[in-house]
Amino acid sequence: GLNFIDLMVRQGNIDNPPKTPLVPGFECSGIVEALGDSVKGFEIGDRVMAFVNYNAWAEVVCTPVEFVYKIPDDMSFSEAAAFPMNFVTAYMMLFEVANLREGMSVLVHSAGGGVGQAVAQLCSTIPNVTVFGTASSFKHEAIKDSVTHLFDRNADYVQEVKRISTDGVDIVLDCLCGENTGKGLSLLKPLGTYILYGSSNMVTGETKSFFSFAKSWWQVEKVNPIKLYEENKVIAGFSLLNLLFKQNRGGLIKGVMDKLLNLYNNKKIKPVVDSLWALEEVKEAMQRIHDRGNIGKLILDVEKAPTPLVS
């Protein structure tokens, strides 16, 4: 699976970027080829999906058994590679951090992306949840049925939301950062939760620009704890990769995956795959994410031949 975090890794816009040479990628699906001596619960030949701490974009991947999950019989390999990061992130934010309940409202940015689509689907499993989404206007026709109210990503969504819901929303899920932090906090109802789970505004041009990076951070609202106390607002952050690989919460994630696979088997959720790409086409695939052209998830398929270039 390709994720926006892979772009940030490539541009060095993360804490402690890894040293080269490096195989990127944090999630994959495939067939078990070999097992460690003490591994139980899996057999050679099992269809599985997994989280990997880098090295996922490869023909052969090795990862600890606690990060591996069996694929349901009617789920394809491409759907399985699109499933773990997006749906676990969306589920954890909505239900573990923000405590989504019936009748609440949610604002999600990049509503056409992998996480955005997962958020919309999970919200639809709870009665009477209103979803406000922002997305590029050319995606609106394709995703309009997945959210309640859809706004252009360049529009003044704060005014649009307040026009529909004068007191704001219960949950803001922000993958943009920069000036959107302050906007998101301003939209929260009392006892509402703002969650930062990405900073895609830090990725601008083809190369890392110190000035665009600094400008984005400069625009981040300075949060005053006293103001949070007075306004009864919650501000939170969520990083699935840190939770898995730095904070050793694999057991917690396994419980979430069990719930998600149950929802999948009951046909309540289904990963949205935008397109499949050969490994040799990773540059073009990343450009599509960079340009925010995708609806759902991009997948690198090791068995796919590159598409011939049209002269």
- Residues 101 and 181 both lie in one domain: yes
The mean pLDDT of the chain is 90
| Residue reference for tokens 């892979």 | 6
- Residues 36 and 111 both lie in one domain: no
Give the contacts of 232 (CB within 8 A, at least 6 positions apart): 190, 191
- Residues 94 and 232 both lie in one domain: yes
> For the segment 225-253, what is each residue's pLDDT rounded down to a tens digit?
898 899 999 999 999 999 999 999 999 99
* Greater pLDDT, 18 or 120: 120
> For the segment 138-168, what is each residue's pLDDT rounded down to a tens digit?
999 999 999 999 999 888 999 999 999 999 9
- Residues 105 and 222 both lie in one domain: yes
User: Model pTM?
Assistant: 0.92
Domain residues for 62? 2-81+246-298
- Residues 286 and 260 both lie in one domain: yes
Q: Bridge partners of 50?
A: 28, 68
Cα 277 to Cα 86, 166, 306, distances in angstroms: 19, 44, 7
Distance from C-alpha of 223 to C-alpha of 134, rounded to nearest angstrom = 24
- Structural domain count, the chain: 2
- Residues 166 and 233 both lie in one domain: yes
- Residues 206 and 102 both lie in one domain: yes
- Residues 95 and 232 both lie in one domain: yes
